[in-house]
Amino acid sequence: MADRIAVNDLRRHAISTETAVRTSVERVLSSGWYVLGQEVEAFEREFADYCGVGHCVGVANGTDAIELGLRALGVGRGSRVATVANAGFYTTTALAALGAEPVFVDVDRDTKLMDLAHLKQVVEQAAPDAVVVTHLFGLLHDMDAVLAIADQAGVPVFEDCAQAHGARRGGRAAGSFGAAASFSFYPTKNLGALGDGGAVVTGSADVALRVRRLRQYGWESRYRTGEGGGRNSRLDEMQAAVLRAKLPFLDGWNRRRRDIATRYTREIRHPRVDRPAVHGEEYVAHLYVVTCDGREALRARLAEAGITTDVHYPVPDHRQPVLTGAGGPVAALPVTDELAASITTLPCYPELSDEEVTRVISHVNAW
């Protein structure tokens, strides 16, 4: 059998960045400073510039970034937050930590992003305190349309950009549209660290100050706690240095991901496999997700050919046992449920060779 094709291969990625990453790690080891030092400060400046915002605050992981970013916007116990249920339970986890309630919005069948008509209905009828927009699978939502709905009701919008590093519309980057935004730097992300890491980006100095306090016990100065709800959630120097080393490569990686996704969309022609549209810079192809009415049969056929697939995500938030076990009504999200039963993720990462892409396409078409 030919070599197995993984959904993502971090070993190849490590080889492609080995020199730059080793240099950054050695720099940190030589410095003797490992938490909240010059590397974090430099990465925060560089990533804020990259996103086109005034402020970036590094935190321990992407879920903390959602929680602390929303807390800095005033979301807390009893707040109601509009969000989607097809994005892996991460926002819902953050809301639970805040004591806030998710108000689930269905998604569009084609883009798999928050459905605008349903969002408008939820904003008008449920009066949420905030909206979290997830740029799922690397596709930046039409933020002008989202903001038109939210702004009319005076509801702040928070962007979850964990899968959309570098996605752009009209020259503006993911994370620069809402009141604040979160990023994850988990190793598999388009910009990934060597462990966990995250950040909140914002144009507001006040929001950034609150997040800086919240990530370190709520301190307003050393050992003086002035902000409630704080915790220990700090981006360490090693991860910040690695991210600095990788950031200059991000746009090139995104172009390669987009090229692979474009080939898949144009060359997969199986009548039972629906592909996403071909996109421009608004899409950074974090995951290439198709829908298929025979998902498990397709996955089994590809596995026989040495091609690994995955499902992102098989259980929507509104059907997770931790919520359904409470005995309350289950939200009516027909498209979300339909997609959860049919989505499949194909391999898509910058280090895939053209020959491997051809192999995936050929085996899908031959199924």
Q: Which residues contact 120 (CB under 8 A, 6 or more apart)?
A: 149
- What distance in Å separates the CA atoms of residue 191 and residue 188, rounded to the nearest whole number? 8
- What distance in Å separates the CA atoms of residue 144 and residue 130, rounded to the nearest whole number? 16
CB atoms within 10 A of CB 329: 7
Q: What is the mean pLDDT of each run of 10 residues along the chain (367 residues)?
A: 88 94 96 95 98 98 98 98 98 98 98 98 97 98 98 97 98 98 98 98 98 96 93 97 98 98 98 97 98 97 98 97 80 96 98 98 98
Q: Order of strands, edge to edge, in the sheet holding 343-346?
A: 273-274, 288-292, 343-346
* Domain extents in the chain: 10-248, 250-366
- CA nearest 178: which of 206, 211, 151? 151
CATH of domain 250-366: 3.90.1150.10
Q: Which residues contact 47 (CB under 8 A, 6 or more apart)?
A: 56, 183, 199, 201, 243, 247
| 20 class by beta-carbon count within 10 Å (0-12 exposed, 13-18 middle, 19+ buried) | middle
Largest CA distance in the chain: 65
- CA nearest 235: which of 275, 186, 274, 272? 186
| 250-366 has the same fold as 10-248 | no
pLDDT value of residue 331: 84
Helix (H, G, I), strand (E, B) or coil at 87: coil
- What distance in Å separates the CA atoms of residue 69 and residue 198, rounded to the nearest whole number? 11
pLDDT value of residue 330: 81
- CA nearest 2: which of 287, 349, 288, 308? 308
247 near 268, Cβ under 8 Å? no
R_g over Cα of the chain: 20
pLDDT value of residue 329: 72
CATH number belonging to the domain at 10-248, selected among 3.30.565.10, 3.40.640.10, 3.30.300.30, 2.60.120.10 = 3.40.640.10
DSSP string, 169-222: ETTEETTSSSSEEEEE--TTSSS--SS--EEEEES-HHHHHHHHHHTBTTEEET
pLDDT value of residue 325: 81
- What distance in Å separates the CA atoms of residue 224 and residue 118, rounded to the nearest whole number? 44
| 347 class by beta-carbon count within 10 Å (0-12 exposed, 13-18 middle, 19+ buried) | buried
Q: Which residues pair with 214 in a beta bridge?
A: none
